[in-house]
Amino acid sequence: MARHLITSAIPYINGIKHLGNLVGSQLPADLYARYLRGRGHEVMFLCATDEHGTPAELAAAKAGKPVAEYCAEMWQVQKQLSDGFGLSFDHFGRSSSPQNTALTQHFAGKLYEAGLIEEVTEKQVYSNADGRFLPDRYIEGTCPNCGYDKARGDQCENCTKQLDPTDLIDPRSAISGSTDLEVRETKHLYLRQSQMRDRLNNWIDSKTDWPILTTSIAKKWLNDGDGLRDRGITRDLDWGIPVKRGSEDWPGMEGKVFYVWFDAPIEYIACAGEWAEATGRTEADWQRWWRTDKGAEDVRYTQFMGKDNVPFHTLSFPATILGSGEPWKLVDYIKSFNYLNYDGGQFSTSQGRGVFMDQALDILPADYWRWWLLSHAPETSDAEFTWENFQASVNKDLADVLGNFVSRVTKFCRSKFGEEVPAGGTMGERETALIEELTTKLHAYEGHMDAIEVRKAAAALRSIWVAGNEYLQDAAPWATFKEDPETAAMQIRLALNLIRVYAVLSAPFIPDASARMLSSMNTLDPDWPSDLQSALATLPEGHAFTVPDVLFAKITDDQREDWATRFAGTRS
């Protein structure tokens, strides 16, 4: 079987993430990781918190805590929430780890040796009111390209144009709102990305299977305007990875740290080292995932991220890896997502508008959210969460189709045959036709999952659930039982086995419900049903089972209306 390395964009340490953040990277990455494991592949699924930069400093100051203590506490919060949503990371690391510090400094040294880092004396914005140099993203103003009045100093979120703070019209501090800004000289290190343009262009051109969204964004940044620009990789901050060339000090860079966008992607690699240390493994164990001279040449590496992260993962991070001259694994496939909007507007962290991960788990189990988010994933365009759609999807897909099938089959069997798989009867034309239909639908499901077509995969899975319901309705074992108990026993035996099949196929989407279905069928057999003829006879005659509690409760109109009101504005 193949070996798969999977990473999702690492969430920033500052605050709890909303559902739009979740579906943009971590959740579909988990779907894919679970599916590949279910098919028998070896998987390394990594994520971490992105902890450096001014936002962490400011959030810590607001909380009245040292920044390191604040980050440690927020890492624990994010870890608990990821566990709550069933995100099956092999390791959830931290960009402030010793491993990332050493590796970031190592890459900087290699890039310097390759002539790809230069020292630049530049003019940078200093806020007199704040008493500090302002990081690019903490300067706001009007975009000179599109006129958007809340453009940041590093990028306009509206038109995605890469900017410098001095490009902004009417700039102001995003920290204090002050316009008392002045430009001062300071010295920084720049990654000479422009020297890598041809290599990056050729590499991107070789990725003919990438989603159009990914490639179009990468090409735009590579070729737009004056093309790929050199990028500063250091900042005048206290919190971050100290600037060094490997283990040596960097003269003239005392007191500076690496820019968060330089060190954060390197954490993908460092995270594997953290995993090795945490699990008692060796350096060779993690390098076989990341070094092509240590065994990673047969690894397929897939990244998941929102579209705003694409430029850094298609250009800056690959420039770091290629520029080092070392045999590190480059990404093979980047699955990027558009935005999920909220009920006629946008999710807003600052305004508390929308549903955040902790709030979601407070009102419903994770599988309800997982199913809706994945079946409505914003792949080809932006998507929108509405409470009406959420209610309809949960009630129809999860309660009426899947949950109802499990309930009807198990309760009928208990009432007529007891709590064990009934004996008797042989399959006929109806059952043969069902197996043929399910085989076709299973192949479609597998094809969409292999291609990471999330919404299509969800639709294919639902169609498999529907096929079982249609068979049950057509076979009508409750009516058959009156005239031919043995045939009814065969029909129910097939349906009980189908519950196990549904549990295995559904596990990537709804892992908790899947585990409950397997438990009710008194089996831990997770084997993928590649041969449905055999899979539908896995539970033998006489095999005991239990009737599960309701898999999915329906969402009432009163609940929907209450939640729509509660999550319309300021977070309490």
Q: What is the DSSP letter of 400?
A: I
Backbone angles phi, psi at 218, to 5 degrees: -60, -45
Parallel/antiparallel/unpaired status of strands 3-8 and 42-49: parallel
Between CA 53 and CA 135 the distance in angstroms is 8
**SS3 sequence of 169-220:** EEEEECCCCCCCEEEEEEEEEEECHHHHHHHHHHHHHCCCCCCHHHHHHHHH
CB 132 within 8 A of CB 182: no
The answer to whether the annotation marks 71 as part of a ligand binding site is no
Backbone angles phi, psi at 439, to 5 degrees: -65, -45
In 3D, which of 274, 299, 242 has the Cα closest to residue 108? 242
Give the three-state DSSP class for 121: strand
The answer to whether the annotation marks 159 as part of a ligand binding site is yes
Phi-psi group of 160: left, alpha or beta (phi > 0 → left; psi -120 to 50 → alpha; rest → beta): left
For residues 392, 397, 399 and 400, what is the CA-based torsion angle, rounded to 10 degrees?
Answer: 100
The answer to whether the annotation marks 156 as part of a ligand binding site is yes
Do you know the residue count of the chain?
A: 572
Backbone angles phi, psi at 215, to 5 degrees: -65, -40
Long-range contact list for 533-536, CB < 8 A, 24+ apart? 533/435, 535/497, 535/500, 535/501, 536/435, 536/494, 536/497, 536/498, 536/501
Q: What is the DSSP letter of 162?
A: B
Locate tokens 């935005």: which residue? 339
How big is the chain by its Cα radius of gyration, in Å? 27
Between CA 94 and CA 271 the distance in angstroms is 7
CA of 298: how far to CAs of 290, 293, 329, 330, 484, in Å? 10, 11, 10, 12, 56
The answer to whether the annotation marks 439 as part of a ligand binding site is no
Strand order from edge to edge, sheet including 181-191:
132-133, 117-127, 181-191, 231-232
Backbone angles phi, psi at 38, to 5 degrees: -60, -30
In 3D, which of 550, 537, 552, 546 has the Cα closest to residue 501? 537
Give the three-state DSSP class for 375: helix
The answer to whether the annotation marks 413 as part of a ligand binding site is no
Annotated binding site: 143, 146, 156, 159, 349
Annotated binding site for ATP: 349
Annotated binding site for Zn(2+): 143, 146, 156, 159
